[in-house]
Amino acid sequence: MRSFVKRMTEAFRKGDLVLLLLCVVATAFGCLIIASATTYTDYGSLRYVGIQLIAALAGIFCYLLISSIDTDFFPEHRRGLVLFNIFLLALLIPFGVTRNGNRSWLDFPFLPFNIQPAEICKITFILILASVMASHQNNLSSPISVGHMVGHLLLLFVVNYLISRDMGVSLIFAFIFVGMTLSGGVSMFWFISAAGAAVLAFPILWNVVLQEHQKERIAVLFDPSLDPYGTGAMYHSIRAMRSLTGGGLIGQGLFNGNRTQAGALFAQHTDYIFAVIGEEMGFIGCVAVLVLMAAIVIRCVWVGIRSRDFLRRLVCFGAASALIFQVFINVGMCIGVAPVIGLTLPFISYGGSSTITLYAMLGLVSGVYARPEPTSQERYIRPPLQYHGGYDL
């Protein structure tokens, strides 16, 4: 117990407190918006804010706990992480609950919030991919190396989508993959080839993989005439845009938004919370949120650049990629430039599972900040991962 307390104290002392402070500020702002967005509900805002605060405290604990763990510990257990991901997603088969057509949540009666396994897998996937890329570091763009990386992506993407049917979270894995491989130095030849393959496979993906409502959400972005009256696929986005623009420069005031206080927006405390910010805090509030999100992303990238260790740098870039994608999709849904795929705004939207996993993911970045590269003793005992041929999971 004394050793554990010592490790946590050291993590607080050496970890990235600037990043933690940015996350706490975002969470506090999110709680304020959640309170305003849920006053109309039967439970009132106290229940939602209370759960969010509990999740934030648990998230801060996870942040410090993961900060205290040497980053090199995770690659040594890569196979275990892969099996853990599959096991966690498989729990959705007997215990998952379906929401909005997606079987993405585990509902345990002893927890005040549901668990989304894919959110946890997002963290482990960053570690797995960073480990794989580090093991191929000397020949990163070879067909075997690229095949190894793509294999891990397809395994997680396919398993998650087949079980949950949640395309939004599955796409996060793909964007993390692109961000990490691009920043890691994989040849552009592979990205161009992948783009060409995607174009050729598009008819199959469109007709076989995507469900009808997913097709509508994508098609209407390119052809608004498919929903001219805004009663179909664009219904929620149009209402969100009206709220977003209805706040003007400074907004209608917290707890005073016309649509927000009437509960007129779909998922206004989760998926469409950015529209609530626009209505009640105006353009200034929206810009403030985007600046705060940008600051968190930039901090992750800065910590990665600061580290000279390839694996640690990739972990930071992976966390930044996940945040960028989530913010882009969430804000894009509200302004009608991205399909509605149900991703929350990091740290701002209500969601216990999402909040805890976000803090845990950024705890990896804090761990890199505390230990930007292995010490000489660690390098002697556990040399940097290198690829020597063969295929290792």
Is the pLDDT at 379 greater than 60? The verdict is no
Contact 286, 277 (CB under 8 A): yes
Helix (H, G, I), strand (E, B) or coil at 99: strand
> Quick one: which of 208, 190, 355, 207 has its CA closest to 270?
355
Residue 34: its pLDDT value, please? Answer: 96
Amino acid at 210: L
d(CA 128, CA 176): 12
Instruction: List, for residues 114-125, the tens digit of each pLDDT value.
Output: 788 988 999 999
- Tell me the pLDDT of the chain averaged across its residues: 87
Contact 135, 373 (CB under 8 A): no
Q: Cβ(77)–Cβ(70) under 8 Å?
A: no
Half-sphere exposure of residue 247, counting CA atoms within 13 Å on the CB side? Answer: 29
* From 157-166, 234-243, 248-257, 370-379, the region with the lowest mean pLDDT: 370-379
DSSP state of 268: T
Locate 158 and state its tokens: 């396919």
* Residue 249, both tokens: 């420069």
**Which pLDDT score, from 0 to 100, does residue 392 have?**
60
Amino acid at 362: L
Q: What is the pTM of this model?
A: 0.91
Q: Has residue 16 got a pLDDT over 70?
A: yes
pLDDT at residue number 282: 94
Number of Cβ atoms within 10 Å of the Cβ of 350? 27
**C-alpha dihedral, 60 to 352 to 160 to 69, nearest 10°:** 10
Q: At 169, is the secondary structure helix, strand, or coil?
A: helix
Which pLDDT tens digit goes with each residue over 77-104? 888 999 999 999 999 998 888 777 778 8
